[in-house]
Structures are given as structure tokens and as C-alpha cells.
Amino acid sequence: MMPLAAAEHFVRAPDWTWYILFYFFLAGLAGGSYAIATLLRLWGDPSDEPAVRLGYYAAFPLYVLCPVLLTLDLGKPLRFWHMLVNTTPGATGVSFKVWSPMSVGSWALVVFGIFVTVSFLEMLVRDRVLRLPLADRAARVLDSAAGKVWSIVGGVAGLFIAGYTGVLLAVSNQPVWSDTWALGGLFLASGLSGSAALLALLVRYRPDAQASTGMLVLSERLFALLELVLLVFFVLTLVPAGTLGDAFGFPWILLWLVAFAGLLPGLRGLLTARLALTGEGAVTAGAGGAAGAVTGGGAVASQAALASVAVPALVLLGVLALRAAVIFSAQ
């Protein structure tokens, strides 16, 4: 990695606040949901199909809000398209700078949007919600290898969308942000863990997707571990730069505590059950009455049902708090 000198900063804050915070949050969840759905589609078994559809469904509304938030954040919202088209007199053309994450990200949002939208429509056709003359034939095209390629490319775009926002912050001269190389990975890992939690939460609205709950619970534990490792790297890179106090001082430490609390369910699961689904894992994983059978008590079952909502909600809150701490502490 790059040697980081104890950098002094002489910059003004860009005032990226609430719109950007929620964009980062939604981008992480949209990209992560699409990527997890792709994993289930390509390497899961037929019983994962409902969860695949759930993932692709979830990604669409999450995604749609992203460009809206970004546009609202602009000083000149009607010029949002200037991100893609250079209107400089005498030099008009495509605007694309590979070294500017905001430029790359703008294009990535367009590309990911195509994949999210097509996959969303495909699922509507497969669920027979959308009935159009040629739709079935189009969906059948996506049954072939072309469909797999489509999912993979879209999944890669999703992973990019979930993570590049951290690189965007790092490619600046702001304290904290530009002192570390860990933000891109950190946002990606937290986006994935949030997406796994979100999909586990959404399963209750699509009971036939319960077959995949086990995978979601287990992957959430591993994503939480990945996030913890990157959090450690984040802290380690801020020490030589001397900006650790900026990032973790009061009141930001409160947000960091929430972010860390969001990691705890996954880490605790990893410590107690490792990669086995026992205890509360089996409760959430078990279909229908299996939960009651294993734990054998109405009160315990309702407690477990509460936990199956509260735990993913805590994870999602942690995903939001992590981004808030990073965004606000540096400005």
C-alpha cells in the first residue's frame, strides 16, 4: 500500500450531508441485494429461486432513489446530465474520467440501473405479475447462458456501486477520508452485511423464500467479520495520519457505537455457532412451525420472532451509522 505521511489538511468541507448519507446507504443496499441475489441464482439450488426474486425486487426501489438523491444534492439539479456529457463549448462530448470516482460512479449508476431495471422486470414476468405478449419469450432468453452472464455483470456493477462511494471520499484532500485506503472496502462489506440483513427481514413478506434464510444468516456473519477487519484497517491507517481523534471523537463515537452494535449479532453468531445454524439461527432458518418444534414454547417463539425483526433492523441501523460517522466526522 501507499505510504501515508502525517498529512496536514488545509481544505474546506464540501458540505455533503443528508442526501449523500442516504445515497451511500441505499447504494450499498441496492448493490449488495443485487449481488446476493446473483450469488443465489448462480450457485444456489432451485429452492433459492424465491429469494433470488426477492433480491432483484428489493434492488430496484432502493436503486431508483439513488440518482434522485444525488440530483437533489447538486447546486444545479437540472444539470445532472453534465456528469455524463461535457458541455464545454468547443469540447463537447462524453464526460468520463477514470481517475475521478464521481465520474466513474455516475456511469456505473447508469450501467447498474439498466441491469437492476431489466432484472426487476424479468422477475415480474416470472412471477406472472407482468403479462406482455413478448415478455415470456424475453424472459426465456435469460434462462440460457446469456442470463448468467447478465446476472454476473450486473452483480459486479452492484458490488462496484456498493463500494466506490468510499473511494470517492478517499479521492479528496479531506482529513480522515483521504488518510485511508480502507473506505471502499469498508462500505462494500457493510453494504453486503446490510443487504443480507435486509433480505432476511423481507423474507417474512415472501414465505417461500425462507429456504434461503440460512444462507442469508450465515453470510451476514461473514460479512460482519469482513467489515470488522476493514474497520481495524481503517483505524490503523488513521493513526499515522493523526486524524483518529477527528473520526472517533465526541459526538461521532456515539455513531461508531451504533455501527459496532450492528456488527455484534453477526459476530456473536460467528463466535457461538460459527458456521452452523443452531439456536436462534435454526429458528430463523426453520420453515413455519419448525421454530416452535425446536424451541418448544410459545413465549420463546414470539421472542424469536421479535429478534428476527430487531436483529436485521439493528444491522441496518449500523450500516447507516457507519456512513454517517465517516461523512460527518470529517467535515
User: What distance in Å separates the CA atoms of residue 198 and residue 203, rounded to the nearest whole number?
Assistant: 9
- x-or-dash string of contact with other proteins, 144-183, rule CB under 8 A: ------------x--xx--xx-xx--xxxxx--xx--xxx
Q: Which of 61, 87, 257, 302 binds other proteins (CB under 8 A)?
A: 87
Q: Which of 223, 263, 314, 323 binds other proteins (CB under 8 A)?
A: 223
Residues 4-23 that bind other proteins (CB under 8 A): 5, 7-16
Q: If you count them, how many residues does the chain have?
A: 331
> Nearer to other proteins by C-beta: 135 or 328?
328
From the number of C-beta atoms within 10 Å of its C-beta (0-12, 13-18, 19+), residue 9 rates as middle
> Nearer to other proteins by C-beta: 75 or 133?
75
- x-or-dash string of contact with other proteins, 41-60, rule CB under 8 A: --xxx-xx------------
From the number of C-beta atoms within 10 Å of its C-beta (0-12, 13-18, 19+), residue 3 rates as exposed
> Nearer to other proteins by C-beta: 124 or 199?
199
Q: Which of 276, 306, 309, 310 binds other proteins (CB under 8 A)?
A: 276
> Nearer to other proteins by C-beta: 106 or 119?
106
Quickly list H helices, the chain.
18-43, 49-73, 101-126, 135-141, 145-170, 183-202, 213-241, 244-248, 252-273, 280-285, 290-295, 298-330
Q: Which of 26, 30, 66, 218 binds other proteins (CB under 8 A)?
A: 218
Distances (CA, A) of 133 to 115, 125, 128: 22, 11, 12
Does position 205 interact with other proteins (CB under 8 A)? The reply is no
Among 196, 48, 38, which Cα is nearest to 115's?
38
The residues that bridge with 86 in the sheet, in sequence order, are 93
Query: Do 187 and 28 contact (CB within 8 A), yes or no?
Result: yes
Among 265, 259, 262, 298, which Cα is nearest to 280's?
265
Does position 91 interact with other proteins (CB under 8 A)? The reply is yes
From the CA atom positions of the chain, what is the Rg in Å?
Answer: 21
Does position 271 interact with other proteins (CB under 8 A)? The reply is no
Q: Which of 26, 62, 123, 230 binds other proteins (CB under 8 A)?
A: 230
Residues 249-268 that bind other proteins (CB under 8 A): none
Does position 35 interact with other proteins (CB under 8 A)? The reply is yes
Query: Do 79 and 139 contact (CB within 8 A), yes or no?
Result: no
In this chain, which stretch among 53-61, 125-133, 208-216, 307-315 interacts with other proteins, using CB under 8 A? 208-216
Q: Which of 72, 257, 293, 310 binds other proteins (CB under 8 A)?
A: 293
- x-or-dash string of contact with other proteins, 103-132, rule CB under 8 A: x--x--------------------------
Nearest 5 degrees, angle CA 20-CA 266-CA 218?
A: 105
In this chain, which stretch among 1-9, 250-258, 299-307, 311-319 interacts with other proteins, using CB under 8 A? 1-9
Residues 67-86 that bind other proteins (CB under 8 A): 73-76, 79-80, 82-83, 86
Q: Which of 58, 124, 189, 320 binds other proteins (CB under 8 A)?
A: 189
